[in-house]
Amino acid sequence: MKIFIILLFITVNSFIKYDTGYASSFDWNNGFSASGNNVYTKEFTFSGTFERIPQVAIIINKYNVQYQTSGGNLATITSITTTKFTVVMTNPYSSGATEMPFQWYAFDDKRVQVINEFNYILSSPYASFTQYVTYSHSNPNFTKALLFITSFQFKGGLDIVLSIEEITITQVKVKIVSNTNNLLQIGYQIMLTTSDVMETTYIQQPSGSYTSPTMTFPTDKDWTVSTQGFNWPAVINFGVRLTKYSNYYTFAAWSGNPINALRFTYITIVKSITQTFLPMAISGIRVSQKDNYNNSPIPTIQLQFEELNLIYTSETTQTFYVQSSLSQLNAIIQYSCPTTQKLYTELNYPNKIIKRNFYCSRGQNIVTMYIRINSQMTAINEITFSLTNTGISIKQNVQNQLAELKQIFLLQITNN
């Protein structure tokens, strides 16, 4: 008797969600040598394939910028695909950046957002100034923000510092300070995250040389330093680099380059995000029916959110935010219905969806629903509701790796 064994191989697509690498192709030690009035294009390949186009942050940790009358460079991410990205370094002056290696980080996750401002045009390029710039962001639960310089252009010594001024549920505000009249251009990125993605320690070193204390570097996180500013008299090249050791690091000027102050941040980034955001869920509902004896004028349908003092009586679709300090939201729905109609509902409880029908009757033609909605975690909840003459839907935008619109409550009014 012959036995045939058939082996079935199933190929499963395994997409990466996070990746990091070092752009050594922009490093002098790896053969890169730039000159002024030139453009350099480098392509970087991810270690795997992302399912969606990721966001990419480039954090420079070694500078070598030549000084003449005017100088500097412009670094830009020009394209990103699911397998690679491209960075272009432009040296618009006769003196430019002879090297600019960087650590890059790529994310396919809605708990992280990278905002690009590679070529910010200054409103006061020939004076010392303080400017504020505001950007919109996509996640109300962003609590961490990091800004880092990607390029700068100058006509003399610089004393600059960039910082995060404020994060709100929809915006992030940046502060740019230049204490000289020599800054011509500045480029930067902003990385925003939820609370458990990154940790930052800001350091202001009153010299051009910093040595960290003895440290135990995390094995479940990646780390680097990012630049927010410096005081550079520009009498010789701007040269600063990060050097990593087993239990400490240095971030310091090299080759005798005079720098009076360094402003930078030590940053750690988790390799796998574990914090999961949950939608609000219904914890109870009470329904009452009564007759409008006096036939007094009332709206056909009304939706009220008690704690927010919001009442709606006409067709509308709106979005609002429930602050993390408000753990319970009470919604009241009142519907004046003829006897021929049925009210179909879907209620999202923490572990199940319950479907129920309610019927209008001749003697009880006003239906009122009292719905208690609770947070399942401490977070800001982004609620979108739609009110029409034929029903109500209440949904929440929940952002983890993906952004999903989760249904909390549904009411559909149909003929019985």
Provide the pLDDT for residue 123.
80
| 335 residue type, one letter | Y
In a domain, 56, yes or no: yes
Q: What is the pLDDT of residues 134-185, one digit of tens each?
A: 999 999 999 999 999 999 998 889 999 999 999 999 999 999 999 999 999 9
Q: Is 333 exposed, middle or buried (0-12, 13-18, 19+ CB in 10 A)?
A: buried
Provide the pLDDT for residue 70.
79
In a domain, 4, yes or no: no
C-alpha 87/C-alpha 98 separation (Å) is 15
Provide the pLDDT for residue 296.
64
Rounded to the nearest 5 degrees, what angle is found at the Cα of 127, between the Cα atoms of 149 and 188? 10
Among the candidates 215, 245, 270, a domain finishes at: 270
> 158 and 249 share a domain?
yes
C-alpha 365/C-alpha 359 separation (Å) is 9
Closest C-alpha to 198, from 266, 292, 130, 132: 266
Q: Is the pLDDT of residue 20 over 80?
A: yes
> 256 and 296 share a domain?
no
C-alpha 394/C-alpha 379 separation (Å) is 18
> 327 and 249 share a domain?
no
According to DSSP, residue 119 is labeled: E
> 65 and 125 share a domain?
yes
Provide the pLDDT for residue 127.
85
Q: Which residues constitute the domain of residue 141? A: 18-270
Predicted confidence band at 4 (pLDDT cuts at 50, 70, 90)? Answer: very low
C-alpha 215/C-alpha 114 separation (Å) is 28
> 66 and 173 share a domain?
yes
Q: Is the pLDDT of residue 277 over 90?
A: yes
Q: How far is CA 205 from CA 216, 230, 268, in A?
A: 21, 9, 19
Report the domain count for the chain: 2
In a domain, 316, yes or no: yes
User: What torsion do the CA atoms of 282, 288, 294, 299 make, to the nearest 10 degrees?
Assistant: 20
> 263 and 286 share a domain?
no
| 146 residue type, one letter | L
Phi, psi of 28 (to 5 degrees): -55, -40
In a domain, 403, yes or no: yes
Proportion of the chain above pLDDT 70, given as a percent: 94
> 159 and 29 share a domain?
yes
Mean pLDDT, the chain, rounded, equals 91
> 264 and 291 share a domain?
no
> 211 and 90 share a domain?
yes
Q: Under 8 Å CB-to-CB from 295, ≥6 apart: which residues?
A: none
Q: Which residue has the higher pLDDT, 49 or 38?
A: 49
Rg (C-alpha) for the chain, rounded Å, is: 29
- Give one DSSP letter per residue of 321-389, joined into a string: EE-TT--EEEEEEEEE--TTEEEEEEEEETTEEEEEEEE-BTTB-EEEEEEEEE-SSSS-EEEEEEEET
C-alpha 84/C-alpha 400 separation (Å) is 23
> Taking the mean position of all CA atoms in its chain, how far away is CA 412?
35
Phi-psi region of 143 (alpha: psi -120 to 50; beta: other; left: phi over 0): alpha
In a domain, 51, yes or no: yes
In a domain, 109, yes or no: yes
> 238 and 115 share a domain?
yes
In a domain, 300, yes or no: yes
Provide the pLDDT for residue 366.
85
